Amino acid sequence: MLPCPHHGARPWASFAYSSVVLVLLFLLAPAPTATVKAAPTQRRLRRPDSENASYPTLQQQEQLRQAQTEATFVAALSAESARVSLQYLTSEPHMAGTPGDLKMAQYVQAQWQSFGIQNAEIQPVPALLSYPLQDKQPSLTLLEHSTNTPLFTAALTELILPEDPTSDTWLRNHTYLGYSPSGNVTAPLVYANYGRPEDFDVLEAAGVAVGGTIVLVRYGACFRGLKVMNAEQRGALGVLIYSDPQQDGFTAGPVYPDGPWRAPFGVQRGSTQFLSLCAGDPGRAALAEEGLTAEDVCGYATEDMKPKIPVLPISYGDATPFLQSLADAAAASPVAPPSFQGGLNLTYHLGPSVDLVRFATHNHELVGDIWNVIGLVRGRDYGTRRDRLVVLGNHRDAWVDGGRSSFFLLCFVKSSLPPSSDL
């Protein structure tokens, strides 16, 4: 728990306490005697020396407090040590439940203790985890419909960049999504924009059937797991999810490594659990010792909160030939409406494709420990009736090397405590 100043409550509380004290003093004062005394001379309130004197409004006072808080935050940090900390947090893969994840947990614990949170501890928690098989890579191929001859085979790999030592990892050849089952499907392709219910309504209105197809959707507008859930409910056999450059790529600005935007080979990984049904560990493994199941807590069985069809994330470089195949289907594939158009140099069509798509995923699940770092900070109202429990946190693990949210929380903790180390 981190301290949380009660700026909004304190003035009202002070006013209430002062009012009570004044009322009690009045009731306990002795009764007046019959002696009549001259009324004391009333003091006249003096105006400020300047008739133009003004006092800050509540809004101005809040702006001043905000500025002071920001100044305190910035003063507690240094650019160089922040660079070192962020570089360490992003120096190696640390997927949940892996040795890299435990290593980063130990780093965060040590940092908190150096800030003065001596009670910081690591608590292992069992959870249902999902990983790609290291000895089998996913595959994605566009096939000529009459002969099954390959027309295009997706690379499904992220390039090694000389200027980025973290780019050379076995995960670059394993584009996968958490909780996607293993599978191998072949079917025509349709394009469903962001994969929202209203996007599938557009396909239905255009006479494009989703059942028995592979659905291609782009990231954005809703959580990736819900895109899969919506497609699965409509009878799709599999789902491909790509990052369109309109949202994250060259149309937004320079791409990595020349800029922050996604390169043509970049792939977004993540979980595909159905979060709208019940967030958190879909297996609820931590509750097994208490004899409880996910269904007891969530109202849904574990298998109903994650996909039953294979799902694969791909880059917009790999997605381009598949979107072009929808355009090549001509009259059989209606032109997508303007809201479905993206940033690639082609006209987006709804499908279905004439050519076929085949893709395979190779993933597995297991129950293993993940590690929470817990620290307690006693605020200024600790132990009083105004004490409130405030929980701040972030997810520390990453699908590859990410560490931004962990770094932000480290900065917040550091700036909220008295100086004791350099971050």
Structural domain total, the chain: 2
Q: Please provide the DSSP assignment of 397-420 as one string.
A: --SSS--HHHHHHHHHHHHHS---
**Structure token digits, residue 334:** 């209606």
Instruction: Kindly state whether residues 267 and 156 are assigned to the same domain.
Output: yes
* Domain presence at residue 42: no
- Do residues 232 and 309 lie in contact, with contact meaning Cβ atoms separated by under 8 Å? yes
Question: Using one digit for the tens of pLDDT, what is the confidence trace for 16-75?
Answer: 222 222 222 222 233 333 444 444 555 555 555 555 557 788 888 889 988 987 887 777
What is the extent of the structural domain holding 342? 130-272+307-366
Mean pLDDT of the chain: 84
CATH number, residue 352: 3.50.30.30
For residue 157, tell me if it sits in a domain.
yes
Q: Are residues 349 and 402 in the same domain?
A: no
- Is residue 196 domain-shared with residue 92, that is, in the same domain? no
Distance CA 342, CA 348 (A): 7
What residues are paired with 143 via a beta bridge?
150, 356
In this predicted structure, what is the pLDDT of residue 115? 86
Answer with the residue of higher pLDDT: 67 or 190. 190
Q: Tell whether 406 and 355 lie within a shared domain.
A: no
Q: Are residues 201 and 342 in the same domain?
A: yes
Whether residue 287 is contained in a domain is answered as no
Give CA–CA dist 404/269, Å, rounded: 16
Q: Give yes or no: residues 350 and 379 share one domain.
A: no
Q: Running DSSP on this structure, what letter comes out for residue 340?
A: G
Are 270 and 177 a contacting pair, CB within 8 Å? Answer: yes
In a domain, 115, yes or no: yes
- The type of residue at 192 is A
Choice among 6-10, 305-309, 408-412 with the minimum mean pLDDT: 6-10
Q: Is residue 279 part of a domain?
A: no
Report if residue 25 sits inside a domain: no
Indicate the residue among 346, 366, 386 that finishes a domain: 366
Over residues 256-299, the pLDDT tens digits come to 999 999 999 999 999 999 999 999 999 999 888 889 999 999 99
| pTM of the predicted protein model | 0.80
Question: Which residues lie closer than 8 Å to 4 by C-beta, 6 or more apart?
Answer: 379, 388, 390
Q: Of 25-34, 128-137, 235-244, which one has max mean pLDDT? A: 235-244
Over the stretch 317-329, which tens digit does the pLDDT of each residue have?
A: 999 999 999 999 9
In a domain, 302, yes or no: no
Do 222 and 250 belong to one domain?
A: yes
